[in-house]
């Protein structure tokens, strides 16, 4: 499987220059300014994604018990596994807003449905921003009406969903199927703070022109989410609004892809590539962050354990602070591993930072601390853990913890 994926990725997976969520066939998007967001120079804060053909759709949602109104509405609308449009805003989370918040989310869906000529139940809704503030629908209604949809509008949509992000997150890749057809997967995401997803803050939207079987849509998205968005952490807080939605319209003309087939492996590879790129971009753009933290765990008993261990390490505030200070205090990695809940035996564990061995079979190894500190001053800091207990592996991503994070979040609403 791993060898096949490596060969397939090298020969058939292609990154699309300037790619975004509207790169796959049949998807259009656009955005406008409703006055919900006051930060940033390029003010767009309400956007629409629309498929010119019917879509299968699946979503994963935050496990936070407090769920924002748009998530509740989207869950209702996607029960039949179909959706054709998305309306999303930034600057207001529409969370903890009671029945009026749910009514506002439903109205946003209805306004979008009327604009593009589909049923209200075919529209997913998403919001991000400040919690506990009523949605100013008197501003949102005319903004939705002003949105112009186009193939190039994916870039506008990517800009419309950001809050404290410092850059947009968007990508598209193409992959060849067994019949020679090329299918495309494109995606956008936002997130910089309140990032510790359990899905399934963080919004992710992915579109593909591949035809997928209904069961495979959910299976593929779950696998991609587990290896990407669910293994990143900026600050340990799980949002009320986290969700990732996949739309598949089948306009590539391929036979529907079913689980367990070579085409399913090819599509999964492309979907994972999109989601991992977006997830890493979110971790890299963590509020106030100056370095990306990457932790790879090998030799775990299960993939679930490997993910749990890797995510436990990147979530450690103590390690994040050490990475910011370029302090090779590797004991914090072991502390976080032991606290992660993953099966491990200290006497079997090896630890590396880059190429430098810090611990072997549970014993500390001599290393040049000054050189190690200098190696931590780049844009990325990587640790590799070898548990030497099994065959499973996983990678997780986070960022350092800086004074700027505190500054941003000490004045978020003031």
Helix (H) / strand (E) containing 332: helix 331-338
Pairing mode, if any, of strands 292-300 and 380-386? parallel
Report the distance separating Cα 103 and Cα 96, nearest Å.
Answer: 13
Mean local confidence (pLDDT), 43-59: 96
Report the distance separating Cα 375 and Cα 8, nearest Å.
Answer: 33
Report the distance separating Cα 111 and Cα 115, nearest Å.
Answer: 6
Structure tokens at 83: 């959706």
pTM: 0.85
Q: Which of 17-26, 159-168, 223-232 has the highest mean pLDDT?
A: 17-26
Pick the residue with more confidence: 38 or 146? 146
Q: Alpha helices, DSSP H only, in 121-229?
A: 137-146, 154-160, 214-226
The pLDDT tens digits of the residues spanning 175-195 come to 999 999 999 999 999 875 544
Q: Alpha helices, DSSP H only, in 315-366?
A: 317-324, 331-338
3-state class percentages of the chain: helix first, strand second, coil last, to nearest 5: 35, 25, 40
pLDDT above 50: residue 349: yes
Mean local confidence (pLDDT), 391-409: 84
Sign of CA dihedral 131, 136, 137, 143: negative
Residue 285's pLDDT is 80
The pLDDT tens digits of the residues spanning 127-172 come to 998 889 999 999 999 999 999 999 999 999 999 999 878 889 999 9
Residue 414's pLDDT is 61
CB atoms within 10 A of CB 181: 16
Q: Could you list the active site residues?
A: 201
* 8 A C-beta contact, residue 95 and residue 134: no
User: CATH 3.60.70.12 in the chain, residues?
Assistant: 2-284
Report the distance separating Cα 52 and Cα 24, nearest Å.
Answer: 11
Report the distance separating Cα 119 and Cα 126, nearest Å.
Answer: 17
CATH of 292-410, one of 3.10.20.340, 2.30.42.10, 3.20.20.80, 2.10.10.90: 3.10.20.340
| CATH code for residues 2-284 | 3.60.70.12
pLDDT above 60: residue 105: yes
Report the distance separating Cα 308 and Cα 387, nearest Å.
Answer: 13
pLDDT above 80: residue 234: no
Phi, psi angle pair for 160, to nearest 5°:
-70, -25
* Beta partners for residue 248, in sequence order: 56, 208
Residue 6's pLDDT is 39
* 8 A C-beta contact, residue 352 and residue 379: no
Residue 200's pLDDT is 41
Residue 214, burial from CB neighbour count under 10 angstroms (0-12, 13-18, 19+)? middle
User: CATH 3.10.20.340 in the chain, residues?
Assistant: 292-410
The C-alpha angle 176, 52, 9, rounded to 5 degrees, equals 15
């Amino acid at each position: 499987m791993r060898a096949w994926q490596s060969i397939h990725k090298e020969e058939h997976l292609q990154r699309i220059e300037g790619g975004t969520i509207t790169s796959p066939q049949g998807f259009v998007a656009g955005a406008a300014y409703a006055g919900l967001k006051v930060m940033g120079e390029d003010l767009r804060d309400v956007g629409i994604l629309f498929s010119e053909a019917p879509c299968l759709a699946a979503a994963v949602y935050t496990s936070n018990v407090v769920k924002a109104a748009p998530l509740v509405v989207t869950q209702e609308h996607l029960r039949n596994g179909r959706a054709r449009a998305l309306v999303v805003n930034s600057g207001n989370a529409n969370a903890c807003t009671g029945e009026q918040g749910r009514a506002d989310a439903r109205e946003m869906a209805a306004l979008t449905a009327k604009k593009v000529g589909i049923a209200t139940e075919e529209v997913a809704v998403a919001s991000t921003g400040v919690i506990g503030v009523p949605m100013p629908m008197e501003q949102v209604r005319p903004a939705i009406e002003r949105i112009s949809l186009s193939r190039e509008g994916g870039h506008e949509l990517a800009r419309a969903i950001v809050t404290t992000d410092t850059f947009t997150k968007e990508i598209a890749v193409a992959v060849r199927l067994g019949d020679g057809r090329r299918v495309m997967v494109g995606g956008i995401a936002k997130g910089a703070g309140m990032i510790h997803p359990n899905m399934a803050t963080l919004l992710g939207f992915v579109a593909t022109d591949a035809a997928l079987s209904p069961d495979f849509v959910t299976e593929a998205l779950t696998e991609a989410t587990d290896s990407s968005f669910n293994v990143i952490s900026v600050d340990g807080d799980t949002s009320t609004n986290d969700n990732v939605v996949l739309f598949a319209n089948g306009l590539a003309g391929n036979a529907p892809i079913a689980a367990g087939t070579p085409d399913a492996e090819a599509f999964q590879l492309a979907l994972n590539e999109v989601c991992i790129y977006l997830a890493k971009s979110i971790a890299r753009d963590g509020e106030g962050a100056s370095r990306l933290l990457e932790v790879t765990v090998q030799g775990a008993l299960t993939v679930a354990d490997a993910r749990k261990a890797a995510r436990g390490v990147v979530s450690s505030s103590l390690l994040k602070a050490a990475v910011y200070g370029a302090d090779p205090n590797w004991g914090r990695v072991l502390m976080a591993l032991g606290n992660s809940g993953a099966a491990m035996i200290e006497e079997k564990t090896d630890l590396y930072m880059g190429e430098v061995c810090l611990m072997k079979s549970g014993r500390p190894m001599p290393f040049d601390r000054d050189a190690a500190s200098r190696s931590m001053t780049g844009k990325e800091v990587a640790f590799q853990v070898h548990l030497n207990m099994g065959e499973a592996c996983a990678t997780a991503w986070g960022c350092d913890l800086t004074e700027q994070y505190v500054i941003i979040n000490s004045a978020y609403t003031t």
